[in-house]
Structure 1
Amino acid sequence: MIDKELLNLFESYLTDKRKTLYKKVIADRTCHFTVVLEDISQPHNASAVLRTCDIFGVQDLHTVENKYINRISKYVAKGSQKWITSKRYKSDGNNTRICFDNLREEGYQIIATSPHNDSCLLKDFDISKKTAFVFGEETEGISDFVKENADGFLNIPMVGFTESLNISVAAAIILQDVTTKLRMSDIDWQLSKEEKEELYFDWLKNSIKNSDVIEENFTNLNF
């Protein structure tokens, strides 16, 4: 439960223009789609996908770290890491399984991006279901675990000699396509009222210097 007095205190540090912008952006955020990055080795790739999620309004990003530590390039991310909810899976030998279990508990189907034989073409993808799109390691692609446990596969049609796209490019193409279709649909894709309030509070807090100290002082004064 968000303390309204604390929220008002945080709001007092920002201009009306900034607060209005936050609410406008949050209105276009969605958790209907989410992204999973499995063992991305290059920080610029992970950062570019993070930035893409922000651009197309996908709020949650899941990073699986079985072999590689997920690192962010501030130069590439352009500050987008402040606005996206990142969830890291790095505590177990099979973090992919843990990630998938959590996503399925939240009602997501798992769709791996791969030129698999039974892949669904992007233009034919059904956007009605909550979906987690999985992107694999740059050279090897998705792991065997993902291949064996995904609910389906998604393929971006290509007609050139090159057989694959950089993951950040693939993510941009997919997210632009599915989020555009989503916003034109009758699907209830927006965040709930409670989710919007929580995200707004988090963004306020993250925008204020020494917000933890401000919150601690507020708590001590109101204890």
Structure 2
Amino acid sequence: MIDEELLQYLEGYVTDNRKQTFKEVLANRTKHFTVVLENVFQPHNASAVVRSCDIFGIQDVYTVENSYVNKVSRKIAKGSQKWLDFHRFKSQNNNTQECFEDLKNKGYQIIATTPHNDSCYLSDFDITKKSAFVFGVEREGVSEFMMENADGYLKIPMVGFTESLNISVAAAIILQDVTTRLRKSDVNWQLTKQEQLTIYSEWIEKSLKNADKLKEFYKDNK
């Protein structure tokens, strides 16, 4: 539960312009779509995808870290990682399966991005269904487990000699297309009021370098 009195107190240390920006961004955030980075080992690629998620309004990013630790480059992500929610699967168990099951429990259909399968073209993709787009490691692509268990497959039409795109480019193209169509649709894609309030409260705290001291002062003087 959000302590609204505490939130109001902390808001007093944040400019009106910044608070308004938070609210405008949150109005365009969605959990209808999410992104899964499966075993992506190149920080610049992962960081570029994270940046695209922020730009196109994706709030949640899932990372499967079987062989590599997912690292975000601040230089490439441009601080976007600060405003997203990360769900990291990095235990010694089957991280891919755990991530898959977590997403399914949350109502997502799993969509593997691959140019090799009998995939749905991006322009034909049904944006009404809650979907998690899985992007695989640069060389091998999406894992065998994801390929075998995915609910669907998605590809971007290509007419050149090269058969695949860099994952950061592919993610940007896919997210731009599906979120643009989503916002023009009748789908209830926006965050709930409670979700917006929770994230807004977190963003307010992240904006304050001395948030912990301010919270402590507030509690001591309440």
Correspondence 1:89-108 to 2 at 5 A: 89-108=89-108
Distance 2:119 2:40 in 1: 22
- Residue in structure 1 matched with residue 114 of structure 2 by the alignment: 114
Give, in whole Å, the separation in 1 of the partners of 2:91 and 2:64: 10
CA positional deviation for 1:33: 0.2
Contact 1:112 1:134 in 2 (8 A): yes
Please give the root-mean-square deviation of Cα atoms over the aligned residues, in Å. 1.0
For residue 129 of structure 1, what is the aligned residue in structure 2? 129
Letter in 2 for 1:26: L
**1: CA distance between counterparts of 2:106 and 2:141?**
25
Map of 1:195 onto structure 2? 195
In the other structure, the counterpart of 2:17 is 17
What's the counterpart of residue 77 of structure 2? 77
> Distance between the aligned counterparts of 1:74 and 1:105, measured in 2?
32
C-alpha distance in 2, partners of 1:50/1:192?
A: 22
Relative to structure 2, which stretch is displaced further, 6-15 or 183-192?
6-15
SS at match of 1:49: helix
* SS of residue in 1 equivalent to 2:88: strand
Distance, in Å, in 2 between the alignment partners of 1:218 and 1:112 is: 47
Q: State the Cα distance separating 1:87 from its structure 2 match.
A: 1.0
Whether 1:161 and 2:161 are equivalent positions in the alignment is yes
**How many Å apart are 1:176 and its aligned residue?**
0.2
The residue type equivalent to 1:104 in the other structure is K
Distance 1:53 1:169 in 2: 12
SS at match of 1:62: strand
Alignment length (residue pairs): 222
CA offsets 1:103-123 (integer angstroms, 9 cap, x no match): 111100000000133211101
Measured against aligned partners, the alpha-carbon deviations of 1:128-176 in whole angstroms (never above 9, x if no partner) come to 1100000000111111111111111101110000111000000000000
4+ runs of 1 displaced by more than 4 Å? none
Judge conservation of contact 1:116–1:153 (CA < 8 Å) in 2: no
TM-score normalised by length of structure 2:
0.97
Shift in Å, 1:220: 4.1
Match of 2:148 in 1: 148
Separation (CA, whole Å) in 2 of partners of 1:102 and 1:170 = 24
Structure 1: where are the runs of 5+ without partners?
A: none
Normalised TM-score (structure 1): 0.97
Structure 1 residue 212 and structure 2 residue 193: aligned?
no
- Aligned pairs (5 A) from 1:55-66: 55-66=55-66
Secondary structure, in 3 states, of the residue corresponding to 1:61? strand
Task: Give the whole-Å Cα distance in 2 for the aligned partners of 1:212 and 1:87.
Answer: 24
CA distance in 2, matches of 1:37, 1:140: 13
Q: CA deviation at 1:95?
A: 0.5
Q: Which moved more, 1:9-18 or 1:130-139?
A: 9-18
The residue type paired with residue 144 of structure 1 is: E
The aligned amino acid for 2:124 is D
Indicate the SS of the match to 1:111.
strand
Q: Deviations over 1:28-47 (max 9, x none)?
A: 00000000000110111110
Cα distance in 2 for residues equivalent to 1:163 and 1:152: 20
2:30 corresponds to = 30
